[in-house]
Amino acid sequence: MDIQNILNIAIQVIVMGFVSLMVFDLVGGLWVVPLPPAGWQPPIIEQSTVDFLQKSGKGEGERGKGFVFSPSPLT
């Protein structure tokens, strides 16, 4: 083998090495999920929605009174 063939193979190996590193980096980055810190706890909800509705004064009977028809502004 002469020097031109050796340089050609060396350049091909170097270029394909960089390409494979870029492809592996891209594929590995697709599934990276940032994890929370080790001491992180999910937030605890203090009040439920039912308690909020009961405190606001709206009971079950006052919820839906059907459609409310208002006069048309065009007539």
At 61 the pLDDT is 52
Q: DSSP of 2-44, one letter per residue?
A: -HHHHHHHHHHHHHHHHHHHHHHHHHHHHT--PPPPTT--PPP
pLDDT digits over 1-42, tens only? 799 999 999 999 999 999 999 998 888 777 767 777 788 787
Tokens of 39: 């001491």
pTM of model > 0.85: no
Q: What is the mean pLDDT of residues 46-56?
A: 57
Handedness of CA 7, 8, 10, 14 (dihedral sign): positive
